[in-house]
Amino acid sequence: MADTLILARGGRTVVDRLSFTVDAGHALVLSGANGAGKTTLIRALAGFLLPVEGQIVLEGGSADRTPAEQCHFVGHQNGMKSSLTVEENLLFWADFLRAPGAGPGVEPPKRVADALTRFDLEPLSDIPAGYLSAGQKRRLGLARLLVAERPVWLLDEPTVSLDTRSAGLLAALVNAHTAAGGIVVAATHLDLGLDRADELRLGPREVAA
């Protein structure tokens, strides 16, 4: 998936000559100390940051969409509007992220209802997102993963402010996604207990190589 990647942020090389592959149906857990370049790497995969050198390739993906357009990105923020209700937020993302020319498939309202149930957000669906607790907001942010189908999930610290039960829920979803042939790249400090997961340690060693 990535080939001799050199990433720099603010003129400083953060990730130096890193190569790795994630096979379909596998999860890659990025670990490493604070500042090791986990977020930088994820943001590069999401296409926000152009590599100084090297390239990111998604094999077997759709040819007329960039790798970034086939990724779900869940960053430090959730991207939800506090004055819209939980359901309205998800409906917007479902409509907005729906691939053009995608077949009829599952209709957005149905997908949203499904995502709400999966994340235990159903009782909260009419509440403006601004009133949710941090953990509930996080769950709402993660529910976005389910409202539009994309093969690659990029998760940056997905478990922040989640309780153990919700973290278990997330692990189950990630496992289901990889079982269906999807790819997950997650930066996390917590052991999520994922099946089919490889670990990539980022740190000073890569810089020395």
Q: C-beta of 43: minimal distance to other proteins in Å? A: 7
Contact pattern from residue 138 through residue 177 relative to other proteins, giving x for each residue in contact according to CB under 8 A and a dash for the rest? ------x---------------------------------
Strands (DSSP E) contained in the chain are: 2-9, 12-20, 27-31, 53-56, 71-74, 152-156, 183-187, 197-201
- Site mask for other proteins (CB under 8 A), range 3-42, x = bound: ------x---------------------------------
Cα angle, residue 40 at apex, residues 35 and 43 outer, rounded to 5°: 150
Nearer to other proteins, 17 or 98 (CB): 98
Contact 207, 37 (CB under 8 A): no
Burial 87-109 (b: 16+ CB within 10 A, else e): bbbbbbbbeeebeeeeeeeeebe
Contact, 21 vs 1, CB < 8 A?
A: yes
By the rule CB under 8 A, 77 interacts with other proteins: yes
The one among 3, 16, 69, 114 contacting other proteins by CB under 8 A:
69
Q: Are 154 and 73 in contact (CB under 8 A)?
A: yes
Looking at residue 128, what DSSP letter applies?
B
Minimum CB–partner distance for residue 191 and other proteins (Å): 26
Site for other proteins in 84-143 (CB under 8 A): 84, 88, 92-93, 95-100
Q: Which residues bind other proteins (CB under 8 A)?
A: 9, 43, 46-49, 65, 68-69, 71-73, 75-84, 88, 92-93, 95-100, 144
